[in-house]
Structure 1
Amino acid sequence: MDVLIHLFVGLHIIGIAALLGGFLTQMKAMGEGTARFGPAMLHGALTMLVTGVILVGLNQADDHSVNNVKIGVKLAVLIVILGLVYVKRDDEKVEKQLFGLVGLLTMVNVFIAVLWT
């Protein structure tokens, strides 16, 4: 079971990398007001959602303790990110504040995962 959990942690990190990488590569465009949500950002957020849910299930099935409040907060932040990216995915450009908010929320989600013990 540990191998399976580690596999999904790796896939979860790949999802974070796609979402955060999509944000970071467009920071210059964000400054110019021409940033947009690319497909990698949407797929990264979806990957995070699916693998996160699977990880919670696998950890509970393996009798590991799961902090449900932490998972709930991370899920709420991710749903906001996913909603924003999904709704604005076809727009030619996204407002600076909205694009920055997605990047900020992504980093908040990472820090919640790492620092909340």
Structure 2
Amino acid sequence: MDVLLHLFVGLHIIGIAALLGGVLTQLPPLAKAGQPTRMVPAMLWGALTMLVTGIILVGITQAQHVHLSPFKIGLKVAILVVVLGLVYVKRDDETVDRSLVTAVGALTAANIFIAVLWT
């Protein structure tokens, strides 16, 4: 069961990397001058990967009789659903406001810090 848990943790981290990588490619230091800001496909697939693997991780952890904070899990899912909604709704737009992409990145970072720091 531990191998399965570690496999899905790795996939969850890959989803985080895809989402944050997509955000970073759209922000000023890495974006080309004059390039329109968009919600790139990596952001959508990363968010979906995070959601699916996160649900599986909760199930595996519950099956091992480990207590999880329902409030923490609920908060993380709520933040991820907001991120997923923003990315999904704006995925076909040619340009989006840069602050929207920044908000997606900030919410994703908040989700990471909730996971790591909330014990």
User: Identity across aligned pairs (percent)?
Assistant: 66
Partner in structure 1 of residue 88 of structure 2: 86
The 1-side partners of 2:32 and 2:108 are apart by 16
- Scaled by the length of structure 2, the TM-score of the pair is 0.93
Q: 1:101 to 1:32 in 2, by over 3 A?
A: farther
Structure 2 residue ranges without an equivalent (≥5): none
CA RMSD of aligned residues (A): 1.6
Structure 1 residue ranges without an equivalent (≥5): none
| Match among 35, 46, 67 for residue 65 of structure 1 | 67
The 1-side partners of 2:2 and 2:69 are apart by 18
The 1-side partners of 2:61 and 2:102 are apart by 33
The answer to whether the 8 Å contact 1:37/1:88 transfers is yes
The 1-side partners of 2:50 and 2:69 are apart by 17
Aligned residues: 117
Q: 1:94 to 1:35 in 2, by over 3 A?
A: same
The answer to whether the 8 Å contact 1:15/1:44 transfers is yes
The 2-side partners of 1:66 and 1:57 are apart by 10
